[in-house]
Amino acid sequence: MDFSNRTPCSDENCPGTINENGYCGVCGKNSSEIIQWKSDESKLRQNIENLDKSVPKEGAYVRMTQYGGGASENQIVANRNGYLRLGIEFLKAAFAEKIYIEKEYPDVIDVDLDYLLKEPSTLYFDRFERTEGTPSVFRKESKTLKIILIVIIIVLGGCVVLALIGATTVLRWLF
């Protein structure tokens, strides 16, 4: 079979090729849809660049703090330009190049928040990751939660059995 004249799918995340009907054999997308997305993506990148140029970094202020003892007791305090700049940095993260830190973290991207975060911020982010799948950390947590739930059910079931044995013993003493 001659594969030299096949057109690769223009979706960079797809290894497929476009068939004679104009569809990718792997992802099933129409080649014109992919071209349209590429056009929309370039417009989106341009809009993000324009936003980046239009909102000044000078005077932008963001403070992230933990006000209570729990992990969910956090707050963000910022001025208008701080919130705008924070949003722009997160938009830029969608297209940021991945940087290699360690093999355990292949999806790390470079996101610059240092200029935004002002003292006395107590929450900082060491690493940003962009992945299209479910992050492995979440999968590990869900397995841990399932194990904990199973242990709790077993313990509660054991308590019910012991309570029944105790009740039976007391009833035998009484009658």
Pull the structure tokens for residue 169. Answer: 């013993």
Q: What pLDDT does 2 receive?
A: 45
Q: Do 104 and 121 sit in the same domain of this protein? A: yes
CA distances from 119 to 28, 70, 83, 156 (A): 50, 21, 16, 48
Q: 61 and 129: one domain?
A: yes
**Could you tell me if 104 and 35 lie in one domain?**
no
In the numeric block, the tokens 């938009």 are attached to 91
pLDDT, position 104: 74
Domain count, the chain: 3
Residue 127 sits in the same domain as residue 157:
no
- Whether residues 34 and 64 share a domain: the answer is no
pLDDT lower than 70: segments of the chain: 1-6, 10-12, 31-39, 133-142
Q: Which domain holds residue 142?
A: 134-175
Same domain, 116 and 163: no
Domain end position, chosen among 35, 54, 73: 54
pLDDT attached to residue 6: 66
Same domain, 50 and 116: no
- Shared domain for 48 and 59, answered yes or no, is no
**Which alpha helices (DSSP H) does the chain contain, by range?**
31-54, 80-93, 136-174
* Same domain for 6 and 61: no
* Cβ-based neighbours of 150, under 8 Å, separated by 6 or more: none
Per-residue model confidence (pLDDT) at position 102: 73
pLDDT of residue 1: 41
pLDDT for position 84: 94
Give pLDDT, residue 90: 92
Same domain? 35 vs 100: no
Q: pTM of the prediction?
A: 0.55
Place of tokens 């933990």: 66
Task: Give yes or no: residues 60 and 124 share one domain.
Answer: yes
Same domain (yes/no): 126, 75: yes
